[in-house]
């Protein structure tokens, strides 16, 4: 079949070229109905833009395998057993080697058909500007959130493709018919095709008039039986190696399918692969294929693939899947291996399906353990528990594997710490077992025990990498909760080095170490650093294509943002985490995520939402994650406060402090004690006494805040506000700055009052939407000390920076800064910068 000319899309092509050459966007998304020409325009774009590029096609069959459409981009030297994160890093490295966004072009056809891991990998490529990406998607089909978000953020432009005008359709008709067509037939083609080039092509090549699907059915029905068998194999397994098709069906039927314009053969890496010319062919064909026909096609595919050396990284997974699809498993070992590979790529649904199929063919303890582990990864501990025997196996290696899985199931399913401990005791002393013990005991809130166990495991410099990462990750977080920050940093560096060195064998090792660091920072009074760690982890994991890890980082980042008082980003992150945990909740973080989101809504004054979220969280309580219990009680206190129940709020805050004290968490306890003051309780001597007894910078700041609030000491309130702001406690700082401004307006001089009001407004701006008792009486500016937001920024910087430095910092002209300063001096009744300095004492933007 002759290739149709590129017609009618030159204006759209020019728009894509313009985006490529001069736009801030790194991608263009072509949207339109089936058959309207999205794929042809995208392919033509790759040709016209030149440079290095590649083509990725989202298909139904490829979407069943995590990263399936992108595996041809993975270099050969990357091991077949590599996990999702390592595969995506390899893909990113290869794409980046093309030269970046202005030299490399990537086509992604039918992006709505991509699996979650591939969609996230593509989104990361776009976000990082690693290549210019042209995507196609069918109108009305849901697109992955990570890709949709790029459009909202302006990193991808959308181009809607409509039908082609009659003049263009006429040129295509002439090309397809050689011009030998009368007016009546031409009119029929126009009326039936309705500007859709795919419909026109099918009509020209013999399809019976009807809707687009009917046109395709008509074309496929007219194929010879041997040619149709080729098309069915491609529909079930695309892309299919050309050599496999030719061995199975013969070269002539394959050539006939290609000449008919139904199958396209093209090179991908070092292999020529066959795919359907248009995705609609596959949709129509698969919808009408009988079950026996599908099974026959998959059986042929599986047989032919298993007859090869299966060196490609996708071969084992495909052989496993195709055996399951055909209902005839002749190589259960491949199905088991496929399940393990799917776990490594976080394709849990596929992993479960393969593991179940393998277990049915070859039942036994190993099959049960594999199934139990996959169920546990999905948070389905109850089902997993039913597959594990209570009696340990005699073989040591098997007993270790059994103990690790069984102990995790016992703890995560019902918080059964004694049962888990008894299970570990059957192999007590083994480094991996003791590290697993430490890992779970951390989540149970037993930080002191964790550190003692981890110290023993980590005493061996050549220890098992898995044991090192588990022990170091648990120790890092535990030491942070215990207030031993420097020790936490050393353990983190030790575990991180091991995780990086053994990334292939430990695909989530780096994630576990960074989560440990994030929690240590958060528990040790460093929410700003915790938020930065979470943000870096979130971005890195987006690039790694592991959705459950993204949910984890969204949760930890949301908790850090909540601690800072940045409620809008906290709400967004926790909402994202909540959605992910609703599908897979290995470590039962869904409950904690809901409670944290309840805390956000309470601080925003959205009481009804907060109460509902907290009730849902309570429904999920199974006794796990006691490490978060003090924070959970604090969030519960704010929900009570949002409902006006101050007494209940204070009781919950006191309970949070008692839990933290009992667990030996000094900074968590200090914040919980101070929470009583923030909730509307008295700044009494009892709270002050406890805070003064806790060592560290944060407790000292909080004690100063209590004294300053009681004494209405404006300078002390302002100093403490700046100190807390530098640590990252922006809402705590805004509350104190607001109190300072309120007292300064009543008793201070005009410059003191004006600057205090300015500082309070700046700090409140970082915590938009927060409603707390200490913010309730925010000072209102009058005409004398009213400063605009820009004037406030400049006034707070002026004592410590020249006009030129301020202009560079804020992106303003020097004259604009000087004019604003003149207005500030008049409003505050001062003569210059020197008069402002005594009221600020130190640069307000140091640290933080």
Residue 228 lies inside a defined structural domain of this protein: no
Tell me the mean pLDDT in the region 112-126.
88
Tell me the mean pLDDT in the region 664-675.
96
Confidence of residue 268 (pLDDT cuts 50, 70, 90): confident
The DSSP line for 225-273 is HHHHHHHHHHHHHSSEEHHHHHHHH-HHHHHHHHHTTSEEEEEETTEEE
Give the rounded percent of residues in the chain with a pLDDT score beyond 90: 47
Pair (627, 479) in one structural domain:
yes
Pair (609, 724) in one structural domain:
no
Starting at the earlier edge strand, list the strands of the sheet with 104-109. Answer: 52-57, 104-109, 132-138, 27-32, 156-160
Tell me the mean pLDDT in the region 373-381.
83
Compare 231 and 145 and report the one with higher pLDDT: 231
Residue 739 lies inside a defined structural domain of this protein: yes
What does the pLDDT look like over 30-88, one tens digit per residue? 999 888 899 999 999 998 887 778 888 888 777 788 888 888 888 877 776 666 767 77
In this predicted structure, what is the pLDDT of residue 545?
53
In whole angstroms, how far apart are CA 182 and each of 125, 171, 213, 388, 401?
Answer: 50, 14, 26, 75, 76
Mean residue pLDDT across the chain? 87
In this predicted structure, what is the pLDDT of residue 81?
64
Tell me the mean pLDDT in the region 368-383.
85
In this predicted structure, what is the pLDDT of residue 423?
94
In this predicted structure, what is the pLDDT of residue 778?
54
Burial string for 97-115 (b: 16+ CB within 10 Å, else e) reads ebebbeebbbbbbbbbbbb
pLDDT at 463 over 70: yes
Pick from 162, 178, 196: which residue ends a domain?
A: 162
Q: Considering all CA atoms of the chain, what is the largest pairwise distance in Å, rounded to the nearest integer?
A: 99
- Count of residues in the chain: 848
Residue 308 lies inside a defined structural domain of this protein: no
CA dihedral 15, 17, 22, 27 (to 10 degrees): 80
Backbone angles phi, psi at 135, to 5 degrees: -110, 150
pLDDT at 632 over 90: yes
Q: Which of 196-210, 212-226, 566-580, 803-817 has the highest mean pLDDT?
A: 566-580
User: 762, 767, 807: which is closest to 789 by C-alpha?
Assistant: 762
Confidence of residue 844 (pLDDT cuts 50, 70, 90): very low
In this predicted structure, what is the pLDDT of residue 845?
47
Pick from 102, 131, 162: which residue ends a domain?
A: 162
Residue 522 lies inside a defined structural domain of this protein: yes
Residue 65 lies inside a defined structural domain of this protein: yes
What residues pair up with 265 in beta bridges, in sequence order?
274
Pair (626, 489) in one structural domain:
yes
What does the pLDDT look like over 497-555, one tens digit per residue? 999 998 877 878 889 999 999 999 999 999 999 999 999 998 877 765 567 788 899 99
Contact 580, 550 (CB under 8 A): yes
Tell me the mean pLDDT in the region 720-747.
90
Pair (630, 736) in one structural domain:
no
Least confident residue range of 142-151, 332-341, 538-547, 596-605: 538-547
Pair (152, 32) in one structural domain:
yes
Residue 676 lies inside a defined structural domain of this protein: no
CB atoms within 10 A of CB 210: 15
Pair (635, 536) in one structural domain:
yes
Residue 594 lies inside a defined structural domain of this protein: yes
Q: Which helix (H) or strand (E) holds 473?
A: helix 465-481
What does the pLDDT look like over 384-437, one tens digit per residue? 888 888 889 898 988 998 999 899 889 998 899 999 999 999 999 999 999 999
Pair (627, 741) in one structural domain:
no
Least confident residue range of 195-204, 285-294, 371-380: 195-204
pLDDT at 185 over 70: yes
Tell me the residue range of the domain where 608 lies.
396-640
CATH number at residue 56: 3.40.50.300
In this predicted structure, what is the pLDDT of residue 680?
87
Pick from 133, 162, 191: which residue ends a domain?
A: 162
Pair (727, 602) in one structural domain:
no
Pair (604, 521) in one structural domain:
yes
In this predicted structure, what is the pLDDT of residue 847?
39
Residue 490 lies inside a defined structural domain of this protein: yes
pLDDT at 776 over 80: no
Pair (615, 762) in one structural domain:
no
CATH number at residue 414: 1.25.40.10
In this predicted structure, what is the pLDDT of residue 354?
95
Give the DSSP letter of residue 179.
T
What does the pLDDT look like over 777-834, one tens digit per residue? 555 544 334 677 788 778 878 887 889 988 888 888 888 988 888 877 766 666 777 7
In this predicted structure, what is the pLDDT of residue 642?
92
Contact 695, 524 (CB under 8 A): no
Count of domains in the chain? 3
What residues pair up with 240 in beta bridges, in sequence order?
274
Pair (721, 608) in one structural domain:
no
Pair (721, 617) in one structural domain:
no
């Amino acid at each position: 079949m002759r290739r149709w000319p590129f017609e009618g899309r030159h204006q759209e092509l020019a728009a894509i070229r313009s985006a490529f050459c001069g736009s801030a966007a790194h991608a263009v998304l072509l949207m339109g109905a089936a058959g309207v020409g999205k794929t042809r325009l995208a392919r033509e774009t790759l040709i016209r833009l030149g440079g290095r590029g590649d083509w990725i096609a989202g298909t139904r069959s490829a979407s069943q395998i995590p990263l399936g459409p992108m595996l041809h981009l993975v270099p050969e030297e990357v091991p077949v057993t590599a996990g999702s994160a390592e595969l995506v890093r390899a893909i990113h490295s290869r794409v980046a080697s093309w030269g970046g966004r202005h030299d490399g072009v990537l086509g992604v056809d039918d992006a709505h058909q991509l699996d979650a891991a591939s969609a996230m990998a593509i989104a990361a490529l776009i976000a990082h500007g690693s290549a210019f990406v042209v995507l196609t998607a069918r109108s009305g089909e849901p697109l992955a959130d990570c890709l949709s978000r790029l459009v909202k953020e302006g990193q991808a432009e959308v181009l809607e493709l409509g039908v082609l005008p009659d003049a263009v359709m006429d040129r295509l008709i002439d090309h397809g018919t050689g011009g030998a067509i009368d007016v009546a037939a031409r009119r029929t083609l126009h009326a039936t095709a309705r500007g859709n080039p795919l419909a026109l092509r099918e009509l020209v090549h013999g399809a019976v008039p009807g809707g687009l699907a009917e046109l395709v059915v008509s074309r496929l029905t007219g194929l010879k039986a041997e040619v149709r068998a080729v098309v069915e194999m491609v529909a079930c397994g695309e892309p299919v190696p050309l050599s496999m098709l030719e061995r199975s069906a013969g070269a002539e039927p394959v050539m006939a399918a290609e000449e008919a314009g139904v199958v396209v053969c093209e090179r991908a890496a070092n292999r020529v692969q066959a795919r359907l010319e248009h995705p609609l062919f596959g949709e129509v064909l698969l919808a009408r294929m009988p079950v026996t026909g599908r099974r026959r096609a998959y059986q042929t595919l599986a047989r032919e693939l298993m007859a090869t050396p299966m060196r490609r990284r996708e071969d084992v997974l495909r052989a496993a899947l195709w055996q399951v699809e055909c209902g005839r498993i002749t190589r259960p070992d491949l199905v088991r291996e496929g399940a393990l590979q799917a776990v490594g790529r976080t394709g849990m649904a596929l992993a479960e399906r393969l593991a179940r199929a393998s277990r049915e063919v070859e039942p036994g303890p190993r099959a049960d353990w594999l199934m139990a582990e996959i169920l546990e990864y999905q948070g389905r501990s109850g089902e997993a528990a039913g597959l594990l025997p209570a009696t340990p196996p005699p073989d040591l290696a098997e007993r270790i594997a059994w103990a690790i899985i069984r102990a995790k199931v016992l703890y995560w399913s019902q918080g059964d710490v004694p049962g888990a401990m008894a299970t570990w005791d059957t192999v007590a002393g083994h480094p991996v077992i003791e590290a697993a013990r430490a890992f779970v005991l951390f989540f149970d809130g037993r930080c002191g025990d964790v550190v003692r166990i981890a110290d023993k495991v980590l005493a061996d410099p050549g220890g098992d990498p898995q044991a090192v990462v588990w022990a170091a990750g648990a120790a890092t977080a535990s030491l942070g909760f215990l207030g031993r920050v420097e020790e936490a940093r050393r353990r983190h560096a030790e575990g991180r080095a091991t995780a990086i060195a053994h990334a292939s064998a430990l695909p989530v090792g780096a994630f576990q170490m960074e989560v440990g660091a994030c929690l240590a920072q958060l528990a040790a009074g460093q929410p700003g650093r915790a938020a930065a760690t979470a943000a870096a982890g979130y971005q890195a994991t987006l690039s790694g294509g592991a959705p459950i890890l993204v949910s984890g980082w969204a949760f930890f980042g949301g908790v850090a943002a909540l601690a800072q008082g940045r409620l809008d980003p906290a709400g967004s992150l926790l909402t994202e985490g909540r959605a992910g945990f609703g599908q897979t909740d290995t470590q039962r973080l869904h409950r904690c995520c809901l409670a944290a989101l309840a805390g956000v809504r309470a601080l925003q004054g959205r009481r009804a939402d907060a109460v509902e979220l907290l009730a849902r969280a309570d429904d999920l309580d199974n006794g796990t994650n006691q490490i978060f219990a003090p924070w959970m009680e604090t969030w519960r206190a704010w929900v009570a406060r949002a409902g006006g129940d101050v007494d209940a709020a204070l009781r919950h805050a006191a309970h949070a402090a008692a839990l933290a004290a009992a667990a030996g968490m000094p900074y968590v306890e200090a914040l919980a004690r101070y929470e009583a003051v923030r909730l509307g309780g008295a700044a009494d001597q009892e709270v002050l006494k406890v805070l003064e007894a806790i060592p560290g910078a944060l407790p000292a700041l909080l004690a100063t805040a209590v004294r300053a609030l009681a004494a209405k000491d404006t300078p002390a309130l302002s100093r403490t506000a700046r100190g807390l702001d530098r640590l990252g406690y922006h809402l705590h700082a805004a509350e104190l700055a607001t109190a300072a401004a309120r007292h300064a307006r009543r008793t201070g001089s005009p410059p003191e009052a004006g600057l205090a009001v300015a500082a309070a407004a700046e700090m409140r701006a970082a915590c938009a939407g927060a409603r707390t008792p200490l913010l309730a009486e925010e000072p209102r500016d009058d005409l004398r000390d009213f400063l605009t937001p820009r004037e406030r920024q400049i006034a707070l910087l002026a004592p410590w920076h020249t006009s030129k430095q301020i202009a560079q910092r804020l992106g303003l002209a020097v004259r604009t800064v000087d004019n604003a300063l003149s207005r500030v001096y008049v409003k505050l009744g001062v003569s210059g910068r020197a008069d402002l300095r005594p009221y600020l004492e130190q640069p307000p933007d140091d640290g933080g």
